[in-house]
Amino acid sequence: MTKGILDRLSEGPVLGDGGYLLELEKRGYVQAGPFTPEVVIEHPDALAQLHREFLRAGAEVLQTMTFYASDDKLATVGLAGKVDDINRNAVKVAREVAAEGDALVAGNLSLTWAYLPEDPSSPDRVRALFDRQLQDQLDAGPPDFWIGETFSYLGEALLFVERAKATGLPVMATMCFEQPEPRSYEGDVPGECAKRLADAGADIVGVNCLNGPEQQLPIALEMRSATGGYVATQPVAYRTTAGDPDFTASPNFPYALDPMQLSRHEMAEFARGAKDGGIDYIGSCCGSVQGHVRAMAKVLGKVPEAEREWKSTTGRAMSAYEYREHTETEV
């Protein structure tokens, strides 16, 4: 029987997957701007291939392609009637690929853009949007656990925890922080966000997206210090700075991000630092592709297949790799 997420975390760090939306946009399957996931029903094979790349790289969790798969967001591109199909099919695609290895499937939900703290009717609207996605994914799966991500409002993240916990599956909730001084939109520091999410019942709390590793890891470590439970970090694979920690605020977003992309080695060093800092769930987000995840897997000891031994039979180097004694990642 496949071990669940909490059992795996109890044994050591778990490696997540990489980014989906921006990579599928580069491949021509997602439209920049709305970044909605109609690829799930229009080109499921393309989605399956990206899942498979992350699985082969060593990822232990595949997230469903259901970011922005809520009714209000899909309505912006005329796909409100496809909410159920997209959420259900995303679970099926992820489950089929996960079965090729030993990976778990995480049902993914995200910010809804419907949460307005000044509007007393807003929380119930958000609950309804979450409930529809949760039920669709349960009907199709169910997933092994839930990941709610990219919440700037702590209030919206707490609503996600409330609705997801009601399903009986483990719950991971992650905030995102776009300002140089990281705070939720309500003004809560990361440690306070972590405590309140954990107190609300989240099994794993953490931070994801917007920030590169240099800006995000200290946030995760603050959360680590604030709670005794499991902590997650999933930074983008783009170079951000202390003054501009949000890659989506860069004028390079979204069409000229390539010069900002981090190397495999930099993402591997992030994974090493996260492990050394006691972070439990170590993943990555936008801009992180198979090569990044594979480098992270190497330093975490999670590469699924051993590489073939090889050497020149002539006693002389037969590639620049061999001649210069390169290593992809020093473990």
Q: Is residue 329 part of a domain?
A: no
Helical ranges in the chain per DSSP H? 5-11, 21-26, 39-42, 44-57, 71-75, 83-98, 122-140, 154-165, 190-199, 213-226, 264-276, 290-300, 320-323
SS3 (DSSP) at 47: helix
Q: Is residue 266 part of a domain?
A: yes
Q: What are the φ and ψ backbone dihedral angles of 26, each rounded to 5 degrees?
A: -65, -30
Q: Distance between CA 258 and CA 260 in Å, rounded?
A: 5
Q: How many domains does the chain have?
A: 1
pLDDT at 322: 80
Tens-place pLDDT, residues 156-166: 999 999 999 99
Q: How many CB atoms sit inside 10 A of residue 306's CB?
A: 6
- Beta pairing partners, 147: 108, 172
Q: Is residue 330 part of a domain?
A: no
Indicate the pLDDT class of residue 331, thresholds 50, 70 and 90. very low
Q: What are the φ and ψ backbone dihedral angles of 109, each rounded to 5 degrees?
A: -130, 155
pLDDT at 254: 97
pLDDT at 319: 84
pTM for this predicted structure: 0.95
Enclosing domain of residue 105: 5-323
- Helices 290-300, 44-57: axis angle to 10 degrees equals 30
Q: Is residue 223 part of a domain?
A: yes
Share of the chain above pLDDT 90, in %: 90
Tens-place pLDDT, residues 76-91: 999 999 999 999 999 9
Residue partners of 181: CB distance under 8 A and separation at least 6: none
Q: Distance between CA 253 and CA 138 in Å, rounded?
A: 34
CATH code of the domain containing 60? 3.20.20.330
Q: Is residue 59 part of a domain?
A: yes
Tens-place pLDDT, residues 55-78: 999 999 999 999 999 999 999 999
The first and second tokens of residue 165, run together, are 């916990």
Indicate the pLDDT class of residue 311, thresholds 50, 70 and 90. confident
* Chain centroid, CA 265 distance in Å: 19
pLDDT at 327: 62
The first and second tokens of residue 86, run together, are 């997209």
SS3 (DSSP) at 135: helix
pLDDT at 1: 67
Tens-place pLDDT, residues 214-260: 999 999 999 999 999 999 999 999 999 999 999 999 999 999 999 99
Residues 266-294, mean pLDDT to the nearest whole number:
98
Tens-place pLDDT, residues 98-137: 999 999 999 999 999 999 999 999 999 999 999 999 999 9
Residues 27-47, mean pLDDT to the nearest whole number:
98
